Amino acid sequence: MPQFKWITAGSDSCFACTRWSNKVFSKLYDVPELPVHPNCRCRLKVILSPQEKELVKIGDELNRLKAQSSQDVYDLSALTLIPFLFERLLEAARVLLGEVEQSVQTLGIFWDNYQEMR
């Protein structure tokens, strides 16, 4: 899952902003609302796992190919890339699904323990 790093504009940031400086949030839900105050220059940096970066890269390449093919100009060398891109897409999706599966299993163990404690 993507994480979010709080980036302040500089050393002249107010206390309200500097207390979040460089803090990494693992859920977007936990991130304080931006802007914190008028003229707030803070921003969030999205931190992606290698698999997520790979998915973004593949998405960009597919979009580039799509844009090319809508111009009535068929670049055959680009079209031969498609099966290769889909293969990488599937592999990246497989890894991400594996991570989700692990999380669900961990959650299951927690739930079982919780049930036994009651």
* Binding positions for Zn ion, rule: CB under 5 A: 17, 36, 40, 42
- Least CB distance to Zn ion at residue 2 (A): 21
Taking Cα atoms as reference points, which of 63, 58, 36 lies closest to residue 48? 58
- Least CB distance to Zn ion at residue 20 (A): 8
Taking Cα atoms as reference points, which of 12, 20, 22 lies closest to residue 36? 20
Residue whose CB is less far from Zn ion, 14 or 48: 14
- Least CB distance to Zn ion at residue 29 (A): 19
Residue whose CB is less far from Zn ion, 6 or 54: 6
Q: Is 49 exposed, middle or buried (0-12, 13-18, 19+ CB in 10 A)?
A: middle
Residue whose CB is less far from Zn ion, 32 or 61: 32
Distance of CA 67 to the CA centre of its chain: 24
